[in-house]
Amino acid sequence: MSGFTFAKGNLLKLVSSPLYFCGAVASMLVKRNRNLWVFASGSGIGEGPLALYKYAATDRDLHLIWLARSKAELAQAKTLGLNAATRNSWRGFRLTLRAGVIAVSHGLGDANRFGMRGAFVVQMWHGIPLKKIQLDSPVTFSGSVISRQLLKRAYRRSTRSIQLMPAASQLSAIRLKSAFGLREGVIAVTGDPRDDAVLSDPATAKLALEQKLGNLGQARIVLFAPTWRDGEVDPVVPSQEEWLSIATFLEETNSLLVVRPHPHAVGDYSKGPSVSKRIRMLAPKLQHDVNPILPAVDLLITDYSSIAFDFSLLERPIAFLAPDVVEYAKTRGLYEKYSAFSGGSEVASWHDLLSLLRSKTTLKTLAAHAKQLAKTHQDFRDGKNTARVYEELRKRLTARFGGES
């Protein structure tokens, strides 16, 4: 499990200040190529950048490059047929420095952070915010008063490079604008490209999941996907007794539990698969982007993760397990009351959750609330979000550079 925290990330940014300066100087000397587009995602190959890469690949005038964070990701990219380079290599720096368009999903550091200045940046944030993020969150910028001020100032300066940020809805747009300190007109309500995969073929999604986990049979698929708690241990990791209760529930209901921890999660979920064959571990390194397998999932269990908004498009039951909701809301901050997000159905223990899921009436209620979540937070449900983002991008490039971009 990752040991990443906001504090570690902030420290890295501060000590890298001289390299940012060198990159800024280099950007003044190198002309950007409007037809060179680079793509990268902080979670690996996937998310909005991959969706946009695949869509833009039909334009033969464009030169597209995926920037990989490691040799393993580079190999995977080439297996998928993507043109790729290693992000932190000299070539990765030069490509970022020359690119006319840079598409990211987490932060500017998804690409080579030292070659970003002057590019047309498309920030396709990885989800609709429930928990407060970036400038809005009290935990994003940690450290002394001076370091916090320096980080916020540098952050506001860097976000000026964002020229386009897609949003799933008007409500999401308001949150993203505040969180990133964006000027008017940067955000376009087009739908989130990463959500097109949620509305894809269930059979294809199940096949993709079976390639990672083995045969799933005809069992109901339950996905457990808790969020990250900034270095704190997940309070939702089941005890040995709870794993046994979960196994019994799965047998009784002909279900299969897929456990997918957050990439930065702290906590040991490995005991589950040893208790029952009906419990499978889907490690983040096996499935960087979880959205493509969501059509195969019948029921979602989560806490504060934006995966609930993605999954709501399917109008299937979502159960909320949140034993630390009071403390989490206080320290991290939420954009809306948790009871509105959960429909007031959240529980604090696995015992209560399993009791909840045994009721068919409750499952119908949870599915109805999922439908309401989609209605409130997703303005588009037609699977054409990526197409809208691409068209908006081309329009803005034409406005910026003139003529055909």
Give pLDDT tens digits for 156-195.
Answer: 888 888 999 999 999 999 999 999 999 999 999 999 999 9
Instruction: Decide if 1 is inside a domain.
Output: no
pLDDT band at 25 (very low <50, low <70, confident <90, very high): low
Instruction: Decide if 237 is inside a domain.
Output: yes
Instruction: Decide if 360 is inside a domain.
Output: yes
Residues 101 and 242 in one domain: no
Residue 181 or residue 27, greater confidence: 181
Instruction: Decide if 58 is inside a domain.
Output: yes
Instruction: Decide if 239 is inside a domain.
Output: yes
pTM for this predicted structure: 0.90
- Is residue 108's pLDDT more than 80? yes
What's the rounded mean pLDDT across residues 200-207? 97
Residues 177 and 233 in one domain: no
Residues 186 and 246 in one domain: no
Looking at residue 139, its pLDDT comes to 78
Summarize pLDDT for 134-155 with one digit per residue, the tens: 999 887 776 667 667 777 787 7
Residues 163 and 179 in one domain: yes
The CATH code of the domain that includes 215 is 3.40.50.12580
- Is residue 20's pLDDT more than 70? no
Residues 141 and 249 in one domain: no
Looking at residue 155, its pLDDT comes to 76
The secondary structure of the chain, three-state, reads: CCCCCHHHHHHHHHHCHHHHHHHHHHHHHCCCEEEEEEECCCCCCCHHHHHHHHHHCCCCCCEEEEEECCHHHHHHHHHCCCCEEECCCHHHHHHHHHEEEEEECCCHHHCCHHHCCCCEEEECCCCCCCECCHHHCCCCCCCCHHHHHHHHHHHHHHHCCEEEEEECCHHHHHHHHHHHCCCCCCEEECCCHHHHHHHCCHHHHHHHHHHHHCCCCCCEEEEECCCCCCCCECCCCCCHHHHHHHHHHHHHCCEEEEECCCCCCECCCCHHHHHCCCEEECCCCCCCCCHHHHHHCCEEEECCCCHHHHHHHHCCCEEEECCCHHHHHHHCCECCCHHHHHCCCCECCHHHHHHHHCCHHHHHHHHHHHHHHHHHHCCCCCCCHHHHHHHHHHHHHHHHHCCCC
Looking at the 3D structure of the chain, how many domains does it have? Answer: 2
| % of the chain beyond a pLDDT of 90 | 77
The CATH code of the domain that includes 105 is 3.40.50.11820
Residue 231 or residue 359, greater confidence: 359
- Is residue 11's pLDDT more than 50? no
- Supply the range of the domain harboring residue 214: 199-377
